[in-house]
Structure 1
Amino acid sequence: MIIRSEKRAERGRAVSLTYEDVQEILKIIDQSSTKEIHIEVDDFKLIVRKHGADGAPAVTTTATPPAPASSAPAPTEPEPAQAAQDTSKTEAPSATAQSLNSPLAGTFYRAPSPGADPFVEEGAKVSTGDTVCILDVMKVMNTLKAPCDGVVLSIPVENAEAVSAGQPVMWFEPK
Structure 2
Amino acid sequence: MDYKAIQELIKTVSDSKLTLVELETEGIKIKLEKKQETAVEKITETIKKVSVEEIPQAAAELMTSEEKVQPRVEEVKKEGTIVTSPIVGTFYASQGPDKESFVKVGSRVKKGDTLCIIEAMKLMNEIDSEVDGEVVEVLVENEQMVEYGQPLFRII
Q: Contact 1:93–1:171 (CA<8 Å) still a contact in 2? A: no
Q: Contact 1:92–1:171 (CA<8 Å) still a contact in 2? A: no
Match of 1:115 in 2: 98
Q: Which runs of 4+ in 1 moved over 4 A?
A: 79-85
Deviation at 1:147, TM superposition (A): 1.5
Change (3 A) 1:83 1:132: farther
Match of 2:83 in 1: 100
SS of corresponding position for 1:142: strand
Match of 2:120 in 1: 137
Identify which of 82, 107, 132 aligns with 1:149: 132
Residue 158, structure 1, aligned to residue 116, structure 2:
no
| Partners of 1:93 and 1:103 in 2: CA distance | 21
The structure with more strand, counted as a fraction of residues:
1
Change (3 A) 1:93 1:112: farther
In the TM superposition, 1:65-84 aligns within 5 A as none
Identity value in percent = 35
Q: CA RMSD in A?
A: 2.5
> Residues 98-123 of structure 1, C-alpha deviation per residue, up to 9 Å, x if partnerless?
01100111110100111210001101
Deviation at 1:81, TM superposition (A): 8.9
In the TM superposition, 1:5-44 aligns within 5 A as none
| Partners of 2:68 and 2:101 in 1: CA distance | 29
Q: Which of structures 1 and 2 has the bigger CA Rg?
A: 2
Change (3 A) 1:136 1:84: farther
TM normalised by structure 2 equals 0.52
The unaligned stretches of length 5 or more in structure 1 are: 1-78
Q: Give 1:163's aligned amino acid.
A: V
Change (3 A) 1:167 1:139: same
The unaligned stretches of length 5 or more in structure 2 are: 1-65
Q: Give 1:109's aligned amino acid.
A: Y
Residue 169, structure 1, aligned to residue 124, structure 2:
no
SS of corresponding position for 2:105: coil
TM normalised by structure 1 equals 0.47
> Residues 7-40 of structure 1, C-alpha deviation per residue, up to 9 Å, x if partnerless?
xxxxxxxxxxxxxxxxxxxxxxxxxxxxxxxxxx
Change (3 A) 1:81 1:103: farther
Deviation at 1:134, TM superposition (A): 0.3
SS of corresponding position for 1:135: strand
The structure with more helix, counted as a fraction of residues:
2
Change (3 A) 1:164 1:156: same
